[in-house]
């Protein structure tokens, strides 16, 4: 069995590229295309996450003068909360039944709010560093 990364960004997910056959002896190449289609969203997510990790923290620390220690503590809290929210999101999406499937409605209708929140992350209102820290946490935890 040969495994290759589904994107050029070396996503965590891997897909099986060996041909599979059903009982009739027909190749199921469409399975490979389906796996590639589902994993292709990792390109956009990886780009946004790298931009967030590198640029947003740099922007808040150097340009807006928010404490790097405070942002580090916030990122630890975010990681813990994100682990819990991922469990809840998985639970809800696994039980969603629509004509579009289980996850397509979340991807489709979540894209616009995601983009808007990403815009507002880099356009904070002026205020104290404490207010900017709270603003950063609420925007980054939404993304």
Q: What is the pLDDT of residues 68-81, one digit of tens each?
A: 899 889 888 888 99
Q: Which domain holds residue 72?
A: 47-142
Question: Are 35 and 64 part of one and the same domain?
Answer: no
Question: Are 30 and 68 part of one and the same domain?
Answer: no
Distance (Å, whole) CA 108 – CA 87: 20
pLDDT band per the 50, 70, 90 thresholds, residue 24: low
Question: Each residue of 36-65: pLDDT tens digit?
Answer: 777 777 777 777 777 777 788 888 889 888
pLDDT band per the 50, 70, 90 thresholds, residue 5: very low
Question: Are 111 and 80 part of one and the same domain?
Answer: yes
Question: Are 129 and 62 part of one and the same domain?
Answer: yes
User: What is the pTM for the complete model shown?
Assistant: 0.56
Indicate if the alpha-carbon torsion angle 47, 91, 141, 114 is positive or negative. positive
Q: What is the mean pLDDT of residues 102-116?
A: 86
Spatial contact of 64 and 128, defined as CB atoms under 8 Å apart: no
Q: Where are the alpha helices (DSSP H) in the chain?
A: 29-39, 41-51, 57-58, 68-94, 104-121, 129-142
Of the candidates 12, 11, 143, 139, the residue with the CA atom closest to the CA atom of residue 64? 139
Spatial contact of 140 and 77, defined as CB atoms under 8 Å apart: no
Q: What is the mean pLDDT of the chain?
A: 77
Question: Are 62 and 94 part of one and the same domain?
Answer: yes
Check residue 10 and give its pLDDT: 43
pLDDT band per the 50, 70, 90 thresholds, residue 91: very high
């Amino acid at each position: 069995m040969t495994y290759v990364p589904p994107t050029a960004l070396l996503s965590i997910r891997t897909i099986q590229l060996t041909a599979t056959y059903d009982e009739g002896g027909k190749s199921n190449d469409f399975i490979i295309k389906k796996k590639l289609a589902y994993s292709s969203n990792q390109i956009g997510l990886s780009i946004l996450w790298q931009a967030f990790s590198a640029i947003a923290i740099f922007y808040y620390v150097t340009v807006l003068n928010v404490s790097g220690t405070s942002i580090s503590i916030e990122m630890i809290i975010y990681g813990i909360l994100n682990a819990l929210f991922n469990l809840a999101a998985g639970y809800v999406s696994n039980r969603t039944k629509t004509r579009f499937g289980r996850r397509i409605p979340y991807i489709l209708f979540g894209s616009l709010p995601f983009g808007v929140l990403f815009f507002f992350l880099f356009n904070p209102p002026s205020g104290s560093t404490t207010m900017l820290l709270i603003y950063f946490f609420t925007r980054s935890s939404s993304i």
